[in-house]
């Protein structure tokens, strides 16, 4: 495998018109200025400017990072991705209310998305744990706090929601990705996941838990899973990411005066990501790995490990967010690897926080925006030269 596989911008941006390329360049340029992102957020809080900002965001950020307002809006993008052997993972990116009605609605919506898989064209669905259960309840279970009788009933309902989703997924040959959120609710989710492994993951990994490598204890967690299940006839599905809540995690550990659960430096997080990945590839008879990352080095390492340990195609998935790191996505799919894009959708108002999170993430993550800008500029230049 070439060491410069991801440098090919012709493959990465094959579907984009020159106008799309300039728009992409413009968007990443704008969000490279933290102040502009901050001011836009401020302006949007005034209802008076809402129609204008809506119009601007719709033709820029929404087009770059979202599929549309509903499943039908996403169809064209899904087909375009499919034509290049990239699957879509539809991600309803609207935060619902914290009540039982909203939790049940999330389950119905997720099951409806599962049923879209009529032709093995939607191999994954995703949901957030707090979309189907109350944050405080997860936190109580995670901290071993005694539950009231009412809370015990509520917790049983949460667990049966996981079951309902996994049952539908198994029946439709879809795998389920359980997103990871804050560390202080994660152990309750890990516990649910371990029970789901036994119930659903005997033939293949139907359920995947998410491991955030920025946490100092996650390699240990993966090793623990290995020791618990190495003699059972099951598959452990793990979505490996770096983690999206670093500032919040650090702040909370300071406020409540406990050990910061996050690695001290970016380098340590990178090392932890690569160590987790290496451990799982070494034990690929047990682990199915879903790599959610825009990091080139980690993706290159994955390719080396796949080669080194002779990992079969079905055991590994690569994934990036829609609108980001197309150079990784399309160059991998072009080589025949399993690749999927997270494709967020939802009513405009509901996806605004998602759009700003993407903008802030691109502003905060050193190097990410400048890399996107470099790639867009490179392809614009290449096309203009090829016309001469
Ligand atoms: C398909 C997909 C699914 C995802 N699902 C989830 C999910 O379920 N839960 C979740 O939390 N996130 C999720 N993410 C987001 C992910 O955790 C990262 O925030 C994001 O992808 C950036 O990491 P990277 O590997 O792509 O790239 P990079 O740019 O190489 O890494 C940036 C990341 O490094 C870490 N980091 C940055 N600075 C420091 C520092 N000073 N010290 C320690 N660590 C640092 C942070 O985690 C930061 O997000 C997902 C991402 C993708 C692509």
pLDDT digits (tens, 9 = 90+) for 53-95: 777 777 888 888 999 999 999 999 999 999 999 999 999 988 7
Q: How many domains does the chain have?
A: 1
What's the rounded mean pLDDT across residues 135-152?
98
What's the rounded mean pLDDT across residues 173-192?
98
C-alpha of residue 382 to centroid of ligand 1, in Å: 31
| Residue 210 falls inside a structural domain | yes
Q: What is the CATH number of the domain that holds 280?
A: 3.20.20.220
Residue 61's pLDDT is 82
| Residue 281 falls inside a structural domain | yes
C-alpha of residue 361 to centroid of ligand 1, in Å: 9
| pLDDT surpassing 60 at residue 229 | yes
3-state secondary structure of 69: coil
Q: Which atom of ligand 1 is nearest to the CA of 340?
A: 1
Domain range enclosing 267: 97-311
Residue 36's pLDDT is 64
Q: Which atom of ligand 1 is nearest to the CA of 290?
A: 1
C-alpha 50/C-alpha 224 separation (Å) is 50
Q: Which atom of ligand 1 is nearest to the CA of 319?
A: 1
What's the rounded mean pLDDT across residues 182-204?
98
Cβ pair 338, 40 in contact under 8 A: no
What's the rounded mean pLDDT across residues 267-287?
98
Mutate to test the pocket of ligand 1, among 292, 296, 328, 359 (most ligand atoms within 8 A of CB): 292
Tell me the percentage of the chain whose pLDDT exceeds 90.
Answer: 79
| pLDDT surpassing 60 at residue 128 | yes
Secondary element (H or E) of residue 210: strand 207-212
Please tell me the least confidently modeled range out of 82-96, 126-140, 261-275, 348-362.
348-362
| Residue 157 falls inside a structural domain | yes
Please indicate whether residue 364 or residue 29 has the higher confidence score (pLDDT): 29
Please indicate whether residue 34 or residue 295 has the higher confidence score (pLDDT): 295
Tell me the percentage of the chain whose pLDDT exceeds 70.
Answer: 93
Contacts for 50 with CB less than 8 Å, ≥ 6 apart:
44
Q: How confident is the model at residue 138 (pLDDT cuts 50, 70, 90)?
A: very high
C-alpha of residue 172 to centroid of ligand 1, in Å: 30
| Residue 114 falls inside a structural domain | yes
C-alpha 95/C-alpha 174 separation (Å) is 23
Q: Which atom of ligand 1 is nearest to the CA of 367?
A: 29
Sheet hosting strand 175-178, strand order edge to edge: 87-92, 339-345, 316-321, 287-292, 236-241, 207-212, 175-178, 124-127
Please indicate whether residue 20 or residue 39 has the higher confidence score (pLDDT): 20
Report pLDDT digits (tens) over 284-320.
999 999 999 999 999 999 999 999 999 999 999 999 9
What's the rounded mean pLDDT across residues 240-262?
97
Report pLDDT digits (tens) over 337-387.
999 999 999 988 778 778 777 776 666 655 678 899 999 999 999 999 876
What's the rounded mean pLDDT across residues 36-51?
64
Mutate to test the pocket of ligand 1, among 180, 193, 244, 339 (most ligand atoms within 8 A of CB): 244
| pLDDT surpassing 70 at residue 99 | yes
Residue 179's pLDDT is 97
| Residue 173 falls inside a structural domain | yes
Q: How confident is the model at residue 43 (pLDDT cuts 50, 70, 90)?
A: low
Ligand 1 lining (C-beta closer than 6 Å): 179-180, 210, 212, 214, 241-246, 262-263, 265-266, 269, 292-295, 319-321, 342, 365, 368
| pLDDT surpassing 60 at residue 388 | no
C-alpha of residue 291 to centroid of ligand 1, in Å: 11
For residue 127, list its beta bridge partners. Answer: 178
| Residue 246 falls inside a structural domain | yes
Q: How confident is the model at residue 50 (pLDDT cuts 50, 70, 90)?
A: low
Tokens of 340: 């999927």
Secondary element (H or E) of residue 41: helix 34-44
Residue 3's pLDDT is 79
For residue 320, list its beta bridge partners. Answer: 341
What's the rounded mean pLDDT across residues 143-159?
98
C-alpha of residue 293 to centroid of ligand 1, in Å: 7
Residue 21's pLDDT is 95
| pLDDT surpassing 60 at residue 276 | yes
DSSP, res 238: E
| Residue 14 falls inside a structural domain | no
Residue 238's pLDDT is 98
| pLDDT surpassing 70 at residue 241 | yes
Residue 364's pLDDT is 60
| Residue 186 falls inside a structural domain | yes
C-alpha 7/C-alpha 303 separation (Å) is 15
């Amino acid at each position: 495998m070439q060491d410069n596989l991801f440098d090919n911008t012709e493959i990465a941006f094959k579907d984009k018109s020159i106008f799309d390329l300039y728009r992409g360049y413009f968007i990443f340029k704008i969000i490279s200025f933290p102040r502009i992102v901050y001011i836009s957020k401020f302006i949007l809080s005034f209802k008076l400017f809402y129609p204008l900002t809506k119009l601007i965001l719709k033709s820029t950020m929404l087009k770059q990072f979202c599929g549309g307002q509903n499943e039908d809006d996403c169809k064209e993008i899904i087909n375009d991705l499919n034509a290049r052997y990239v699957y879509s993972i539809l991600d309803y990116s609207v935060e619902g209310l914290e009540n039982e009605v909203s939790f049940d609605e999330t389950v119905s919506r997720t099951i409806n998305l599962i049923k879209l898989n009529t032709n093995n064209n939607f191999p994954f669905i995703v949901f957030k744990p707090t979309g189907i259960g109350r944050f405080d309840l997860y936190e109580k279970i995670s901290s071993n706090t005694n539950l009231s009788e009412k809370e015990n009933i509520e917790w049983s309902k949460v667990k049966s929601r996981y079951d309902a989703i996994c049952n539908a997924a198994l029946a439709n040959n879809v795998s389920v990705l359980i997103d990871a959120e804050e560390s202080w609710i994660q152990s309750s989710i890990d516990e649910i996941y371990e029970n789901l492994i036994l119930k659903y993951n005997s033939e293949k990994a139907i359920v995947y838990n998410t491991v955030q490598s920025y946490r100092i204890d996650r390699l240990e967690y993966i090793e623990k899973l290995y020791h618990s299940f190495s003699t059972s006839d099951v598959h452990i599905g793990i979505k490996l990411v770096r983690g999206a809540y670093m500032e919040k995690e650090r702040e909370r550990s300071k406020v409540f005066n406990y050990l910061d659960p996050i690695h001290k430096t970016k380098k340590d997080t990178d090392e932890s990501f690569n160590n987790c990945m290496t451990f799982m590839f070494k034990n690929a008879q047990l682990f199915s790995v879903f790599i959610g990352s825009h990091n080139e080095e980690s993706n290159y390492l994955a390719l080396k490990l796949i080669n080194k340990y002779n990992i079969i195609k079905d055991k590994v998935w690569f994934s990036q967010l829609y609108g980001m790191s197309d150079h990784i996505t399309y160059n991998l799919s072009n080589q025949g690897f399993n690749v999927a894009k997270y494709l967020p959708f939802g009513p405009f108002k509901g996806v605004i926080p998602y759009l700003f999170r993407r903008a802030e993430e691109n502003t905060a993550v050193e190097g990410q925006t400048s890399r996107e800008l470099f790639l867009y500029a490179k392809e614009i230049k290449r096309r203009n030269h090829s016309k001469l």
